[in-house]
Amino acid sequence: MSAAGTGLDFTLPQQLTVIALCALTAFVSHLALAVFNDGVRPFLLDFVRGRSTRGATAAVSFGLSAGFVFGLGAPMALASGVLNPWLLFLPTDVLGILAPRKWLAPLLGAAWGAVVVFGLKGANRLAHELPVDFLTALQEMSTPILYLFTLFPVLAVTKQFGRVRGGVVGVVELALVVLTLKLWPTVFAGAVAMAVGVLMLIGFAVARDVGQRRAAAPVSDTAGTGSGDDADPMASLFGASAARLRRHLPLFMVLGAGICVLAQLKIFGGGEATSFLVAKGQYAEAAQVDLYRMLGFLPLIATTALASGAYGIVGFTLAYPVGYLLPNPYLAALAGAAVFAVEVLALSWIGKGLGRLPSVRDSSEHLRAAIGEALGLAILFGSLMAANAMGGGLGILVCGGLYLLNEAMGRPVVRMAAAPAAVLVGGVVLNVLYWLDLFTPVKA
């Protein structure tokens, strides 16, 4: 049973899992072994070495995370009925780093988990009883997010390999979406298209790397015999960071088990598109989408982990799709522990491998950027659709105006989160106008 189907009314095992996992992630963050926010991870090296205080590091984490928690994590959870990592793990990053004692970190994390599982239900019920139901309106975001997300391989290929290949991938994806809608109407229309698009991108990248290695082979044969690893000033740092993470392998295995179990319970989605797919019960498609997200973020997580000695709270995110597809939480716990063990043990090898495949590494960076661009447009467009659904032209004026004001002020709320946050604030404004007898809600 999904959270979406019950209005965020979680069962006791689901509640306990969320609370326990939030406690664990806060504890891991307190030890500076892992954080969810990729932007915070590089700052942990100074903290571990004593060059930065716990309070200063917590302030950095809060500054980089608050907008995503309240502008993206909370609206997405309320709109889809499915929890997400921004809502759960960004706050535990901050609470764990901020806690002055080891025993306090898991208590603060557990408290946040309790706020989420018990507070969201009340907020959801209250919002649906308001004259202007902005949570139902937020569900308008699902269609643009799911369909525009399908185009991210096209953007990535175009940026890395040019307009011609990008155009070819675009035509192929469009044809596959049309065919899927016609032949398999119960399947998410973008599933096959994204799979083919990503495979084409990887194929182009591997072909380029192979060609460049063949062209450079004669030069390499006549070159000196010096070791690149010995000459690399980062090699010793990377080795020390990987060793630090391996020393805590049992803790990471417990963390991986918890992440995978949470995904298996079908109350959690690893991304914007995934949340709506999980809410619809399309778990295979959700696994596919999060697998592509993993390909985009793997190099970033690996390199920042090797540079800072702090891993990702959710690892490479491979535990997400594994969890979606497993039939019970017991298998998910075993699989999640195994996934994290392999990831941590293979971290140094992955870092070296990425260094030998520059085009594949660049493809991941282009994938990550393309995912952000596609979702940015989708979230903005979906938020304006939500504004129109709850308030017509006035709703668009209020929500769009708040978004533009955020842009003009230098984006105090990050762009990705600004539009959903504007819908929430706009919904409050429209309800106030209704109570002042200045606005009549749009009828469904």
Q: What is the DSSP string of 103-131?
A: THHHHHHHHHHHHHHHHHHHHHHHHHTSS
Number of neighbours of residue 208 by Cβ within 10 angstroms? 18
Name the phi and psi angles at 388, rounded to 5.
-65, -40
Give the tokens for residue 348: 């140094």
pLDDT the model gives residue 2 = 45
pLDDT the model gives residue 394 = 95
Number of neighbours of residue 16 by Cβ within 10 angstroms? 13
Q: Are 127 and 425 in contact (CB under 8 A)?
A: no
CA distance 156 to 200: 11
Q: What confidence tens digit (pLDDT) does each residue in 142-151 have?
A: 999 999 999 9
Please check whether residue 180 lies inside any domain of the structure: no
pLDDT the model gives residue 188 = 87
Three-class DSSP category at 268: strand
State the burial class of residue 290 (Cβ atoms within 10 Å of its Cβ: 0-12, 13-18, 19+): buried
Q: Enumerate residue ranges in the chain where pLDDT < 50.
A: 1-6, 220, 222-231, 233
Structure letter (DSSP) for residue 406: H
Number of domains in the chain: 1
Terminal alpha carbon distance of the chain: 27
* Cα Rg of the chain (Å, integer): 23
pLDDT the model gives residue 121 = 84
Closest CA to 160 of 317, 358, 348: 358
DSSP string, 1-34: --TGGGTS---HHHHHHHHHHHHHHHHHHHTTSE
Please check whether residue 342 lies inside any domain of the structure: yes
Work out whether the CA dihedral 245, 270, 97, 368 comes out positive or negative: positive
Three-class DSSP category at 352: helix
Please check whether residue 169 lies inside any domain of the structure: no
What pTM does this model have?
Answer: 0.86
Residue 306 one-letter amino acid: L
Please check whether residue 166 lies inside any domain of the structure: no
Element spanning 388, H or E: helix 358-408
CA distance 436 to 410: 32
Give the tokens for residue 41: 């991870």
Q: Are 268 and 301 in contact (CB under 8 A)?
A: no
Please check whether residue 215 lies inside any domain of the structure: no
User: What are residue 311's DSSP bridge partners?
Assistant: 34
Give the tokens for residue 309: 């000695």
Please check whether residue 221 lies inside any domain of the structure: no
pLDDT the model gives residue 218 = 63
Half-sphere exposure of 26 (CA within 13 A, CB side): 28
Give the domain range for residue 405.
4-147+233-435
Q: Tell me the angle at which helices 415-435 and 358-408 cross, rounded to the nearest 10 degrees.
A: 30
Please check whether residue 156 lies inside any domain of the structure: no
Largest CA distance in the chain: 83
Give the tokens for residue 403: 């978004």
pLDDT the model gives residue 378 = 94
User: What are residue 227's DSSP bridge partners?
Assistant: none
Please check whether residue 344 lies inside any domain of the structure: yes
Give the tokens for residue 53: 């205080």
Give the tokens for residue 38: 């990729």
